[in-house]
Amino acid sequence: MANSLEAYAVVLAGGSGTRFWPKSRIREPKQLCKIGSAEKTMIELTLDRLDGFIPPERRIIVTHHLQVQKTREIVGNKAAYYIAEPEAKNTAAALTLAALEVKQIAKTDKVVMFSFHADHVVDNTIKFQETLTHAKRLAEEEKLALLGIVPDSPATGYGYIEKGEPFLENGSFLVSSFKEKPDLETAKKYQKSGNYYWNSGIFTWRVDLFLHQMKEYLPRTLSALQSLQDQGGLFSEMPLKMLASVYETLQNIAIDHAVLELSDKTAVVKAHFKWKDVGSWDALDQCFESDSLGNLVYGKSELIDCKSCTIDSDGPLIAGLGLENMVIVAAKGAVLVCQKSRSEDVKKIVERLKSSDQAQLT
């Protein structure tokens, strides 16, 4: 059966638009923005990486209903189906929604489904697709396959996968355990041991196996969405109110906690490419090359005696003097200035704006 099943791609493209404010907004979160040196938005780059591997007619995007229109405008014919979630309910609900959609489109559940996030940075498309091919083999062997990233630092912001016994070849293993985001000392031990991968959040499985696992571990979510689909057909064509009436009853839980950490069918394939999940402004210098002083500069700027700063402007000149470890962003009529160490707290500004007369800036 190896390499014989048709493959579909599901791209999870939601988000609140807070981490990369002011460039990202609720209706235009980071995957719909050009982040770093890219000439395309993050979601376009994500879909481009699939060219020659999974065609546009077998691509499904799951996004928030406030973002679906902008997503359609940007993506165009790079994907065929768009599912608008009434509210964010985490990845278990979104992936179940997508798996049932794939089954309906394909008219069979004997197909392979890949799940990607729309805001990841990958350095090598050829190696990326080679790794996906290995993952597809695992899926066809009835495994819930995860892509594991070899840690290049003792990162504390990622979950880790502990590899177990080898399975097939090409760096594939059964999963021994999942580890939550560790403290620094634990992360150093994980990296040194060579037995742990970062959990990339890129998954591959046969749709029939995934739905069976959902029936075992999260049956109410599966039952509710299956009943809704039996009534209304494709979720991508369903009225939002119809989906919302069921969606509000679903459990808010990640697929990792709901199924993957409980199942005995998980396997991991070693990724042969570099990967980053760009989480906030201070993480950009880990994903893109900075200048000799450690500065990342996008747009017009004039910097004197500045080190390790991230500067991004959509128009006005940004002038910096004697700055270090700062983030300065001018975008869409707002300016952010903060220390890099505080960039994770940008969401606090967004929350304050939402409750003020400046809510239109969020």
DSSP 41-86: -HHHHHHHTTTTTS-GGGEEEEEETTTHHHHHHHHGGG-SEEEEES
* Residue 337, in any domain of the structure: yes
Residues of the chain with pLDDT under 70: 1-3, 37-38
* Residue 258, in any domain of the structure: yes
CB 324 within 8 A of CB 295: no
Helix, coil or strand: residue 154: coil
What pLDDT is stored for residue 346 in this prediction?
Answer: 93
Residues 162 and 101 grouped into a single domain: yes
pTM: 0.92
Counted domains in the chain: 2
Residues 184 and 231 grouped into a single domain: yes
What pLDDT is stored for residue 2 in this prediction?
Answer: 45
CATH of the domain at 267: 3.90.550.10
* Residue 1, in any domain of the structure: no
CB 85 within 8 A of CB 94: yes
Residues 286-308 have pLDDT tens digits of 888 899 999 999 999 999 999 99
Residues 256 and 288 grouped into a single domain: no
* Residue 2, in any domain of the structure: no
Beta bridge partners of 298: 312
Residues 64 and 104 grouped into a single domain: yes
What pLDDT is stored for residue 230 in this prediction?
Answer: 95
What pLDDT is stored for residue 359 in this prediction?
Answer: 87
Which of 247, 277, 307 corresponds to the end of one domain? 277
Residues 285 and 273 grouped into a single domain: no
Residues 236 and 341 grouped into a single domain: no
Residues 262 and 285 grouped into a single domain: no
What pLDDT is stored for residue 37 in this prediction?
Answer: 66
What pLDDT is stored for residue 283 in this prediction?
Answer: 85
* Residue 317, in any domain of the structure: yes
Q: What's the Cα-to-Cα distance from 80 to each of 9, 60, 92, 311, 360, rounded to whole Å?
A: 11, 6, 22, 36, 31
Residues 221 and 106 grouped into a single domain: yes
Which of 277, 292, 311 corresponds to the end of one domain? 277
Domain of 175, in residue numbers: 7-277
CB 253 within 8 A of CB 218: yes
